[in-house]
Structure 1
Amino acid sequence: MAEVKLYNQDCINAMKEIEESSVDLILTDPPYNLGNFMKNRDTNLKKMRENFFGSAGWDDMEFGDWEKAMDDFFKASAKVMKKGGSMIVFMAIIKVETIIRLAEKHGFYYKTTGIWHKTNPMPRNMNLHFVNSTEAWIYFTYKTRTGTFNNDGAMFHDFVETSVTGNGERKYGKHPTQKPESLMQHFVDLLSNPEECVLDPFMGSGTTGVAAKRLDRNFIGVELDETYFNMASKRIKEAK
């Protein structure tokens, strides 16, 4: 059975407790730091969703503070990552260049930027402009230019398409940026092997942990918010 270890604390402190060079895949969805940006735009997002991410308190840092926090994240990740390990970081497209620069500073090799397309996005502002239906993800390997890629001879595009998270995956509680299980399983399956270690330093609702457990990977999850930590813990424990 997959081993699961969860930390209810800041990810930088938690990663100090993780064994060096022990993680095969980091798959995570850190704060995009778009809270203030979105609040200043002409959007009805707050009216459409009570748990708007911009009001959550963790997505409205000053840019310099957010950049320092992400720099610390990559530094801590480099300590725990195995040589040849892989990393997928979800991120707003307007922040991709900053993330690549910070990651390369700490030994991560930039492979590509891909897109997650939501087939049924919220139709907010549909009569004003294009509906936002995509998020970016960035693929790195650590200290090498290649890593595990279980494609079995098939071609995989840098464009992943799924529906948004369904209500069945939200029965343990709601998280404003919860990713669907099929999306995270896609990356766990391709970029790691059974019995290897998957880490999510920004665990949120625990979707990465569910995917890792189902695919027989060991999982380490870190979440600072106690409510989301408890939600993720129960969800991962009951995942089959």
Structure 2
Amino acid sequence: MQLIKGDSLQILRDLPSSSVDAVITDPPYASGAASSSAKKASTGSKYTTKGAINPFLDFEGDCRDQRSLLQWSSLWLAECYRVAKPNAHLLCFIDWRNYPVFADAIQVGGWIWRGGLVWDKKNARPRKDGFSQQCEFVLWATKGSVKVGDNPLYHNGVYQCHPHKGGRFHQTSKPVDVMEWLCNVVPKNGTVLDPFMGSGSTGVACNNLGLDFIGIEMTDYFDIAKQRLAA
């Protein structure tokens, strides 16, 4: 297991080519606001229910518009493509607002887009005269073809899990159960790279499944991830 604190785009450039079996990550995708001014607000104000107490640290990089998100994402996705082994998987969280532009960024970065998975959070956000917002999405891509045989599982494209299961360690944390669902696509004893490690849920999932892990994080959440993984 390797944990690195710093800017992922810079650090990725120093990682060896063709060295990881999967990239599984939850980058800041600048979606928690409906207007340009609200998008530039703190992450705590965007991702905390109105009136609720926010016990989590704010994080950077979540105020980009769609054009800058496309350009920035294309850069780090291209570096991840270089670092990934042939046939490696990419699984990356996004929400409905930036789903289209992120699908473009994945392909600009060189990956072959394979489709989208659904995380059903089970705690629906009702919308008057519309459909509830209870899902988050994971875009799936590969470096080249899908290699069949090493891990012959039929993976579910929809996974139900309450977002607070197992406790929260981050404003936009993902449950370890969800990360294990995604990590099941990784070959036995494989290596997973998470360039936006946050509080370390991907690393905990890898540890539970016997996978090696490389995590990068530039914010103070690095220390939280380090403590969780040490435990």
Structure whose residues are more often helix by fraction: 1
Equivalent pairs counted in the alignment come to 222
Looking at structure 2, the residues matched to 48 and 12 of structure 1 have their Cα atoms a distance apart, in angstroms, of 34
C-alpha contact (below 8 Å) 1:109/1:145 kept by paired residues? no
1:12 offset after TM fit, Å? 0.7
Separation (CA, whole Å) in 1 of partners of 2:149 and 2:26: 20
Between the aligned partners of 2:133 and 2:56, the Cα distance in structure 1 is 15
The gaps in structure 2 that reach 5 residues or longer are: 40-45
| 2:69 aligns with one of 60, 66, 74 | 66
User: Which whole-Å CA distance do the structure 2 matches of 1:46 and 1:223 have between them?
Assistant: 28
Q: Which residue of 1 aligns with 2:157?
A: 158
CA RMSD across the alignment: 2.6
Match of 1:182 in 2: 177
Which residue matches 2:206? 212
For residues 163 and 133 of structure 1, what CA distance do their matches in structure 2 show?
Answer: 10
Q: Secondary structure at the match of 1:186?
A: helix
* Distance across 2 between alignment mates of 1:159 and 1:149: 22
Provide, for residues 9-56 of structure 1, a one-character-per-residue CA deviation record: whole Å limited to 9, x for no partner: 11111112211100101110111212442637xx98343352689x64
CA contact (8 A) 2:113 2:142 kept: yes
Q: What is the rounded CA distance, in whole Å, between the counterparts of 1:51 and 1:15 in structure 2?
A: 31
CA change 1:225–1:51 in 2 (3 A) is same
Q: Does 1:201 align with 2:204?
A: no
Structure 1 segment 58-97 matched on structure 2, within 5 A: 58-97=61-100
1:234 maps onto 2:227 in alignment: yes
- Flag the 1:138–1:214 CA change in 2: closer, same or farther, 3 A: same
Change (3 A) 1:130 1:108: same
- CA distance change for structure 1 residues 56 and 222 in 2, over 3 Å: closer, same or farther? closer
Q: What is the distance in 1 between the residues matched to 2:148 and 2:82?
A: 17
Q: Is the alpha carbon distance of 1:72 and 1:66 closer, same or farther for their aligned partners in structure 2, counting shifts above 3 Å?
A: same
Report the TM-score, using the length of structure 1 for normalisation. 0.82
